[in-house]
Amino acid sequence: MNNRFSKFGNDNKLFIVMYLDWVLINFIFLSMSDSIYTGFWPIGNNNLDSYNITEFLFYMIVPIVIFVLWKLISEGIKKYLNPES
């Protein structure tokens, strides 16, 4: 288990660092808001007062989903281009 975690960390250092930065930025936005639901921030008001837990969770989950899809698609492409391995 520890070896798999280390391999994942070594193979995806850039994603991990960027995702942790992304979490920090969104946590700061969440702490600056009044946490009252007034709509989805990018479409609603242009201030941080309307940023709430809904946006926070959305912006935390979407990058992980994109990353997982990217990994699955890239594995499929590698297998298709190099079928003997």
Give the separation between CA 51 and CA 59, rounded to whole angstroms.
11
Residue 9's contacts (CB-CB under 8 Å, 6 or more residues apart) are 16
Amino acid sitting at position 6: S
Q: Pick the residue with more confidence: 62 or 41?
A: 62
The torsion angle over the Cα atoms of residues 13, 19, 24 and 25, rounded to 10 degrees, is 130
Q: In this model, does residue 2 exceed pLDDT 80?
A: no
Amino acid sitting at position 21: D
pLDDT in tens, 47-64: 666 777 888 888 899 999
Q: What value does the mean pLDDT take over residues 12-20?
A: 90
Q: What value does the mean pLDDT take over residues 12-38?
A: 84
